[in-house]
Amino acid sequence: MSALNVLANLLRGALIGVTEIIPGVSGGTIALLIGVYETLIDSAGHLVRGVVRAVADTLRRRGLNRAREHFAQVRWGMVLPIGIGMLVAIVVAARLVAPIIEAHPIPSRALFAGLIAVSLIVPARMLGARWQLRDYAIAVPAAVLSFVLTGLPSTNDADPSALAIFVSAAVAVCALVLPGVSGSFVLVTTGMYEPTLRALNSLDLGYVAIFAVGAITGLALFVQVLLWLLSKHRRVTLALMTGLMAGSLRALWPWQTEDRELLWASGDVVGPVLWFLLGAAIVAALLIAEGLLVRRALRRAPEAHS
C-alpha cells in the first residue's frame, strides 16, 4: 500500500474519531459516507472471531489454523491506519470538547439534543414508511422506561466504578454497527461521557484500559447479538431502539440540575434554541448526504452487472 493510501486512511480514521466524540453524530454514518463502513465492520468481525477462536483453540490444544483464517481476512492495510487515526483524533478532540462542555453546559446540551433528535430518523426510517400498532406498543413503553432511567440521579461521576466503565464501553461500542446511532450519546445517558473525556485528557491509563477491555468485550459479544437481532427480529429491535433513543433525550434537556431534575426554561432561551437547530441541521445534512450516496451506489450496481 502506498504512502498516499496510508495517509488517506489516517485522515479517514481521524474524521471518524472526531465525530465519535460528539454525541449525536455517528461515526458509523461518517464511515458509510467515506466508503469504509462495510470494510471496517467485516474486518472487525473477523478480528473478533479470530481472537475468540485463538483463545478457545489454544485452550483445547487445537492449534491456531482456524484463527489465522479469520486474521487473514482482516484488511490490515486499511484497518490499522484508520484505527490509529481514530485514536489520535479522539484524544485531541477530547481536549477541545471537554472545556467547552464544562464552561457552557446549557448550549452544549441544546446542541447535542438537536443532533440526537434528528438521528431518531435513522432507526424509525429503517422500520419502513408505515409503522404498525405493534411497533408503537414496543417503542412507547421503551421511551417511557428510558425517560425514567435517564432521570435517576447519576452516580459519582468523579470516580465511576470499574464495572460502570466496563459496561458503558461495552454498550456504547454497539453503536458502531448502526449508522446514525451515536456511541457518545450512550455515554451521555449513562453519565459516563464527561468522566471519559476527563480520563482521556488526563491520560488516566487505568480508566482507558478498563474502557478498552469493555469495548472489545462489547464488540465480541453484544455486537454479534445485535446483528443477530437485526437479522431475526428486525422490527422489534428497531422499534425498541427508537423508543430508547427518544426517551433518552431527557438527559439532554438544557435546563436541569446536577441531579438531573428538569427545570423550566429560563434566562437566554433563544441561544439554546439556535444551538438545537444547528445540531439538527448538521445531522440532517449528513443523512441527506448518506441517502444520496446510497442511491448513487444502487444506480451503479445494475451498470456493474451489465
* Distance in angstroms between the alpha carbons of the first and the last residue of the chain: 30
Whole-prediction pTM: 0.65
What's the confidence (pLDDT) of residue 8? 82
Amino acid at 177: V
What is the Cα–Cα distance from 138 to 240, expressed in whole angstroms? 6
Burial class (CB in 10 A: 0-12, 13-18, 19+), 17: buried
What is the Cα–Cα distance from 190 to 186, expressed in whole angstroms? 6
The 8-class DSSP code of residue 175 comes to G
What's the confidence (pLDDT) of residue 303? 57
C-alpha cell at 194: 464527561
What's the confidence (pLDDT) of residue 221? 76
Distances (CA, A) of 257 to 5, 24, 51, 105, 276: 48, 22, 44, 11, 19
Q: Across the chain, which distance is largest between two alpha carbons, in Å?
A: 68
State whether the Cα torsion 271-277-282-285 is positive or negative.
negative
What is the Cα–Cα distance from 44 to 76, expressed in whole angstroms? 10
- The owner of cell 435517576 is 152
Q: Where are the domains of the chain?
A: 1-93, 105-306
pLDDT tens digit at each of 306 positions of the chain: 577 788 888 888 888 888 778 765 667 767 766 777 778 877 877 887 888 888 888 888 777 788 888 888 888 888 889 889 988 888 888 888 778 877 888 998 898 888 778 877 877 777 776 888 888 999 999 889 878 877 766 554 567 888 888 988 888 887 766 655 667 777 877 778 888 888 888 888 899 899 988 888 887 777 677 767 777 888 888 888 788 778 878 877 888 887 778 888 888 899 999 999 998 898 888 778 777 776 776 676 665 555
Other Cβ atoms less than 10 A from the Cβ of 293: the count is 14
